Amino acid sequence: MRIKHIRFVVLLGSFAIIGIFAIQWYFLKKEWNNREKQFTQTVMIGLRNVADVLHKINQTNPTTTNPVRQLSSNYFVVDVNGVIDANVLEHYLKLEFERLNIRTDYEYAIYNCYTGVMEYGNYFFYNGKIKHNAISVNLPKYDEYNYYFGVNFPLLKNTIAGGMTMWFFLMGILFVAVIFFGYSIFVILQQKRLSEMQRDFINNMTHEFKTPISSINISADVILNPESLMEPVRLQTYASVIKQETSRLNDQVDKVLQIARIEKQGFHLRKEVFDLHVLIRNVAENYRKDSGRNINIDTNLAPGTVEVNADKLHVANIFHNLLDNAMKYSGESPEVTISSSLRGGRVQVRLRDNGPGIGRQHQKKIFRKFYRIPTDNVHDVKGFGLGLFYVKNICDAHRWRISLNPDERNGAEFILEIPVLKSAL
């Protein structure tokens, strides 16, 4: 799938999801407001009936046509224009709320005009239990009334939400659909990235194999020429070329097969105790001899021995691959510095080259399989993008930490942190 098609799908899907969410939120908010309004109207009817009863008991006249005032979404005050008996108030509140089917916790308090505070408060649970002389909050006063009581519904939001279970269920389904859509887009983008990486891998492999195959083909043509039989030295030269290029092809195929075998079967580490510094020096010396190029490797290691428990062959391959990576990107005169330092039972090994460094946009990707830093259409750096992927997998198998110094100005610097069994000066 082309990138423009993916962008179109993502854009269209995003607009659809935003639209669905907006519509769902609109109706959810509208339903919430309607339920809150219905609850408010029911409570005000019940409290007005209670006020009428108290007026009759006290033989007083109401000071206003509507004695109930709503001070917040869940708090109401009721003017009774007379002394309030707490027991009588509780009785009629309970009767009215049960008659009107108001199924939520509530609490009340009576205003004492002599002390100027709200008092005599009880808390009534939905199941009928009473928590005497206790209210969840300090109910606010209302300055326009002298004889009144206040009723608060502390769990009003929970009550409304409980009656909208189906709405929230639908929102949950929509949320799951959004997650599924996002995951689908992620899979599509991942598959596209893998497809591009496989395409790049095939292109790189074609370039890597083309040169030795061409050399072998030319050498074979020369050897098959009857005139060449009269020149043994020439025959030996071209036979040597065939041998070298065949060995090169074999090494490249082995790298690909090794990664495939590792991914299929995993690592079978054969751990042993050895001196890490000795191994690093040996790898550096052998690489310097076998590279066929003028590469300067400076081993600035901490003094003494550093014993680690690891797979010696794989650890040697780690440093070989890091050196190989440094040589590829360090121009005509590669210079590599390998240093180490001991810190709290761990040895930190740093390998720095004199190349152009690795840009920040590539630093998090270089350990991915087949990933190679783009060089446009110039294929001047050999390889399949498997070396650092192999290094990362070996470090993960040993539970070591490998990272890249984010400073991209002074070449690339890889940092390994390895637990130490024993160190001695």
pTM flag (> 0.85): no
| 277/415 same-domain check | yes
Residue count of the chain: 425
| 13/122 same-domain check | yes
| 249/345 same-domain check | no
CATH of the domain at 213: 1.10.287.130
| 249/278 same-domain check | no
Asked if 306 and 421 touch (Cβ cutoff 8 Å), the reply is no
In this structure, what is the dihedral angle of CA atoms 219, 225, 228, 230, given to the nearest 10 degrees? 160
Q: Which of 133, 162, 191 is the last residue of a domain?
A: 162
Give 65's DSSP letter.
S
pLDDT of 236 reads 79
| 88/46 same-domain check | yes
Q: Which of 106, 129, 162 is the last residue of a domain?
A: 162
| 36/75 same-domain check | yes
| 384/337 same-domain check | yes
Rg of the chain in Å (alpha carbons) = 40
Q: Which of 246, 265, 284 is the last residue of a domain?
A: 265
pLDDT of 378 reads 45
> What domain count does the chain have?
3
Of the chain, the end-to-end C-alpha distance in Å amounts to 60
CATH of the domain at 356: 3.30.565.10
* Mean pLDDT split into 10-residue runs, the chain, 425 residues: 70 81 85 90 92 87 84 90 86 90 88 80 76 67 87 87 81 82 79 72 67 78 74 77 76 67 68 92 85 79 88 88 81 84 88 80 75 56 69 87 78 88 63
Asked if 321 and 354 touch (Cβ cutoff 8 Å), the reply is no
| 14/150 same-domain check | yes
| 252/359 same-domain check | no
Structure tokens at 301: 């290691």
| 251/310 same-domain check | no
- The C-alpha atoms of residue 400 and residue 99 are separated, in whole angstroms, by 71
| 157/172 same-domain check | no
| Spatial strand order in the sheet of 117-124 | 68-72, 75-79, 148-152, 106-112, 117-124, 130-131
Domain carrying residue 286: 271-424
- The C-alpha atoms of residue 156 and residue 74 are separated, in whole angstroms, by 6
- The C-alpha atoms of residue 272 and residue 258 are separated, in whole angstroms, by 22
Q: Render pLDDT for 96-147 as a digit per residue (tens, 0 to 9).
A: 988 998 888 888 888 888 888 888 778 888 766 776 665 656 788 888 888 8
| 146/219 same-domain check | no
